[in-house]
Structures are given as structure tokens and as C-alpha cells.
Amino acid sequence: MTIFIIRRILQAAVVTLITLSVVFVVGRVVGDPVRIVIGIEAEETRVQEVRDQLGLNDPLTVQYWRFMTGALRGEMGTSFWTRTPTMPMVLERLPATIYLGVVTALLAFPLAILLGATAALKPHSWADRLINVTALGGVSIVEFWLALMLILVVAVQLGWFKTSGYGGVEYVVLPALTLAYKPIGRISQMARSAIIDELRKPYIKAARAKGLSEKQVVFTHALKNAAIPIITTTGDEVATILNGAMVVETVFGWPGVGLLTINALSRRDLPLVEATVFVVTGMIIMTNMLLDVAYTYLNPRIRFQ
């Protein structure tokens, strides 16, 4: 187990190193950010001054070394725009994204599993078909369009929730719903097929033989064992949520990492982009390691090895 964890940590380190290098390369290929920083009407001498200040005139190797050693210390340079260290800027935004992500997960998982299990109860029934189409709708919809429609219809016309902004229930529901639709679609399908697979197993026959109702069989027995394959896909759903967060946070004005990333990208603020990628990478690696542990714990076959 310890060896396993150490291996995972080493792997994570290598992946981080590669990501950082990619980000660095991308950063240097990108066109001159200085004009964007100090305005299109600035004089050339001023442009050179700022380039010097930002260290953009140093040799690439020097820049790379500075970049990587900085990253090791958790320092990702200072923002081109605000001239302040970028790591605190990103970390400050992290809670908002985690909050949104957790609410999304809390909405998505129970609902998806409920839908999946209901569909699995009677495969090929009308309920199953309806759930199937709903689920596929989730992975087929254009997120930003859905977000805007929810704002205009649910928030403005019906007045049920706030149009935008950061805060409690009335603020978080709409962005979380928008974000949750895609994972709901995927997880419910996954749950459905996992439960159907479980239902073929002998212990289910035993349960049925005991005289349990089909509902009890599905929701108490099959579901518990189907949880393992469902959890293994959660890692990928984290990426889906982060993907959506960039779009959804922008539309709803949600002050998270996704919005920060989009702002940083459109302002060509390379150090800030680098820092967000660093943090996002770290987040994903952490989640996956946690999931590994959860997986090990849930699966007795691995636990007792």
C-alpha cells in the first residue's frame, strides 16, 4: 500500500513536470503580450522597458530555470497585469470553484444514480427510454446556451433564483444545475449498465429467492455493488466539471478559478495562466489519489490484499 502511494506520488510529480514544461513552451510561443498589457498606442521604447521589467528579454534557458525553480517553491511568478504574485490570486479563487463543484456533485450523483437505477428496474420500458433520452440530452446540450436560457427564464421571468453572482442557495442552484446536467447524463447511463450487470449475478438470484421486491433488490443489493464502477468514472467527471466551470463561471459571474482562467487567457497574462494550470493539475492529481484510496477502501478484494 505504501509503495503504491509512493509510486502514485512519483507519477504525479512527473506529470506535473511535463504539464509545467508544456505550459512554459506554450507561453513562449504566444505572441507578444506586452502590447496588450500597456496598450496599443504605447511607444516602442516603453514596450522594451516593460519587456525588460517582465524578464521577457532573458534567454529562454534562464526563463525556464526561473520558471521551474519557482514552481517548486510554489511561486509561479507575478502577473503581467496586476504585478502581484499569481499563486495567491489562484488559491483565493479555489474555494468558489470547489463550492460550486461540490454542489454540482451533490446534485448530480444522487439524481444520476436514482435515474440510472430506475431505468435499470425495467430495461427497455418507457421510463427507461425517457431517462435515456434525458441523459443523452445532458451530454448533447450547449452549456452556455443552457446557462443563458436558465438565467432569462428561471431567474428573470420566474424569479426563482438570482441571475448571477456568488452566494448561498439562491445563487448556486442555477450554475450548479447547468454544470450538473452533463455528469447526470453520463453517470446515469453508467449506473444503469452497472446495475444491469450486477442483476445478472447469482447473489441477486438469492435475494430474489428470499422474496425481496425488485425495488429492494435494485436499490439495496445491486446498487451497493454497482457503486465501484461508478466511482471509478468520478475522476473523469472532475475534469468535466472543471471544463464546464470555465464557461459557466463566465456566464454567471461566479468568482472561481474557471473565470480567472478565461480572464487570464484573454488578457494573455501568461504567469497567471501558468499558475491556474498548475493549480488545476494539482487539484486533479489530488482528487484522483483520493479516489484511488476510496476505491481501495470500497473494494474488499483490494483492501485485504
Site membership for other proteins, residue 3 (CB under 8 A)? no
For residue 118, the one-letter residue type is T
Site membership for other proteins, residue 57 (CB under 8 A)? no
Among 212, 262, 294, 302, binds other proteins (CB under 8 A): 262
Provide the minimum distance between the beta carbon of 22 and other proteins in the complex, in angstroms, as a whole number. 8
Rg (CA), the chain: 24
Site membership for other proteins, residue 255 (CB under 8 A)? yes
Site membership for other proteins, residue 295 (CB under 8 A)? no
Span near other proteins by CB under 8 A; candidates 69-77, 157-165, 219-227, 293-301 = 157-165
Using CB under 8 A as the binding rule, the residues of this chain from 114 to 143 that contact other proteins are 124, 129, 132-133, 136-137, 139-143
For residue 56, the one-letter residue type is L
Of the candidates 177, 182, 190, the one whose C-alpha atom is nearest the C-alpha of residue 134 is 182
For residue 99, the one-letter residue type is Y
For residue 91, the one-letter residue type is L
Among 177, 238, 275, 279, binds other proteins (CB under 8 A): 238
Find the farthest-apart pair of alpha carbons in the chain and give their distance in angstroms, rounded: 85
Compute the distance between CA of residue 92 and CA of residue 305 in angstroms, rounded to an integer. Answer: 41
Q: In degrees, to the nearest 5, what angle opens at C-alpha 225 toward C-alphas 222 and 229?
A: 115
Residue 78 β-bridge partners: 85
Provide the minimum distance between the beta carbon of 188 and other proteins in the complex, in angstroms, as a whole number. 12
Site membership for other proteins, residue 152 (CB under 8 A)? yes
Compute the distance between CA of residue 23 and CA of residue 212 in angstroms, rounded to an integer. Answer: 56
Site membership for other proteins, residue 155 (CB under 8 A)? yes
Total residues contacting other proteins by CB under 8 A comes to 96
Site membership for other proteins, residue 256 (CB under 8 A)? yes
Nearer to other proteins, 47 or 212 (CB): 47
Of the candidates 6, 88, 62, the one whose C-alpha atom is nearest the C-alpha of residue 271 is 88
Among 259, 271, 275, 278, binds other proteins (CB under 8 A): 259
Nearer to other proteins, 13 or 220 (CB): 13
Nearer to other proteins, 68 or 239 (CB): 239
Provide the minimum distance between the beta carbon of 185 and other proteins in the complex, in angstroms, as a whole number. 9
Site membership for other proteins, residue 243 (CB under 8 A)? yes
Site membership for other proteins, residue 75 (CB under 8 A)? no
Query: Contact 224/117 with Cβ under 8 angstroms?
Result: no
Using CB under 8 A as the binding rule, the residues of this chain from 4 to 43 that contact other proteins are 11, 14-15, 18-19, 22-23, 25-26, 29-33, 35-43
Cα distances from 263 to residues 33, 250, 257, 276, in angstroms, run 14, 9, 10, 11
Site membership for other proteins, residue 82 (CB under 8 A)? yes
Among 227, 265, 294, 302, binds other proteins (CB under 8 A): 265
Instruction: Extract the C-alpha cell encoding 216.
Output: 429492494
CA atoms within 13 A on the CB side of 250: 16
Residue 195 φ then ψ, to 5°: -70, -40
Provide the minimum distance between the beta carbon of 10 and other proteins in the complex, in angstroms, as a whole number. 11
Cα distances from 252 to residues 116, 147, 150, in angstroms, run 29, 8, 10
Provide the minimum distance between the beta carbon of 18 and other proteins in the complex, in angstroms, as a whole number. 8
Site membership for other proteins, residue 268 (CB under 8 A)? yes
Site membership for other proteins, residue 216 (CB under 8 A)? no
